[in-house]
Amino acid sequence: MIKIMDYSNTSSDEIFARGMSATGVEVTVAGIIADVRENKDKALFKYCEKFDGTVTDNLEVTDEEIEEAFASVDAHFIEVIKKAKANIYDYHKHQVRNSFVIAEKDGVVLGQKVTPLQRAGIYVPGGTAAYPSTVLMNIIPAKIAGVGEIVMTSPAKNGKINPVILAAAKIAGADRIFKVGGAQAVAALAYGTETIPKVDKIVGPGNAFVAEAKKQVFGLVDIDMIAGPSEILVIADGTCNPKVVAADMLSQAEHDKLASAVLVTNSKDLAEKTAAEIDRQLSLLPREEIARPSIENNGKIIIADSIEQAIEIANEIAPEHLELCVDNPFDYLDRVKNAGSIFLGKNCPEALGDYFAGPNHTLPTSGTAKFSSPLSVDDFVKKSAFTYYTGEALSKVCDDIAYFAEKEGLSGHARSALVRFDKAGI
């Protein structure tokens, strides 16, 4: 049964505790990365056979394989994927940043140059479930940003990537696709092999091995984030339907035994009815084996004094997904400070954002929404500043630059400005 606690008489340690645990995979992942770095494709062939049951000397998915997979997916699902793509594209196109130039007077030009990454690596899981939504959410922002080449990797059980993954990749616009999963795929994207090109950034979710591999290669390449277990926090008042609230909470609990589902409400009656409803619905859920430990170990229902206090609690937790299930959600939106993605009102299940609405579903977890953001077009560009001064413009500020530099004890900096006007004494 899910825990119910009253905020006014429960310790903050219990209220704000997260069900995180050490993975203990650091040494194993480091060994895999070192092996791939040294042995490249040879190591990948070994791991494909060991983990995926695939004996191969060809890691890249062919055009024929893509077309065969696409043809095998039912036509209705293809249309749904295309509709989702359109929504995701329409949302993310508003995130495009433009270069700018500030033409100052007296010979000064300043600006910012926005440049797409040359190559991005997209990791798509292929374990207990297939996630074509991940393909769309990661590739589409990269395409909008103008990334030169988008390389996708995904595990291939017995030599085949799930057809819906390949269909989504074709629709989204992946340039190259490789049959490699796990930490070895991350290593290949980070270092490059004879077959898989080195990328500038690796994005996409994965299991503990994938997350640890991304952590270990960060710095050599960029990554999107170190994603923790899935999270949902529902703020609901007494007018909400407990059946709906329970279903929304279970939508995240079924992801992972470490996932967390939290309800914060100002209604004791809703709290009790939702707890009973969660227990009832768990027995009907196909992924009960995963969802029940999530609910029992990490789930909680917190009774607050008011919706305003509920939002304060949510801001401290900083959840990945926040559902604001009240009749006038826009009245409260400005109060929300820390959340990965916010779902407003009683008609916005979190699943709407996972698949279809348009905003990205790759979101900060584990409280990192306090300082980080969802995946966006910004993740696939870099920004360079540029500066231009004429000789006359530099002469007007030369002494100020030199004075500042000397205050920091950096005479060489000072001289680099002064020497242009024979003031350096060298």
Determine whether 49 is an active site residue: no
Distance of CA 365 to the CA centre of its chain: 9
Determine whether 76 is an active site residue: no
Give dist(CA 265, CA 302) in Å, integer.
Answer: 6
User: In which residue are the tokens 């995946």 written?
Assistant: 375
Give the total residue count for the chain: 426
Residue type, 18: R
Q: How many CB atoms lie within 10 A of CB 120?
A: 31
Distance of CA 72 to the CA centre of its chain: 29
User: In which residue are the tokens 């004791």 written?
Assistant: 268
Strand order in the sheet with 108-116: 100-103, 108-116, 381-389
Yes or no: say if 151 and 51 are a contact pair by the CB < 8 Å rule: no
Give dist(CA 199, CA 150) in Å, integer.
Answer: 9
Pairing of strands 100-103, 108-116: antiparallel
Give dist(CA 117, CA 109) in Å, integer.
Answer: 25
Which of 321, 323, 350, 361 is flagged as catalytic? Answer: 321
Give dist(CA 152, CA 174) in Å, integer.
Answer: 7
Pairing of strands 300-303, 3-6: parallel
Residue 155, CA distances (Å) to 70, 127, 163, 172, 221 in order: 17, 8, 12, 19, 21
- Sign for the pseudo-dihedral over CA of 172, 177, 181, 183: negative
Yes or no: say if 217 and 202 are a contact pair by the CB < 8 Å rule: yes
Q: How many CB atoms lie within 10 A of CB 4?
A: 17
Give dist(CA 287, CA 129) in Å, integer.
Answer: 11
Which of 277, 320, 323, 350 is flagged as catalytic? Answer: 320
User: In which residue are the tokens 């609405």 written?
Assistant: 357
The upper half-sphere exposure of residue 329, i.e. CA atoms within 13 Å in the direction of its Cβ, equals: 16
Give dist(CA 398, CA 51) in Å, integer.
Answer: 63
Helix H or strand E segment including 383:
strand 381-389
Annotated catalytic sites, by residue?
320-321
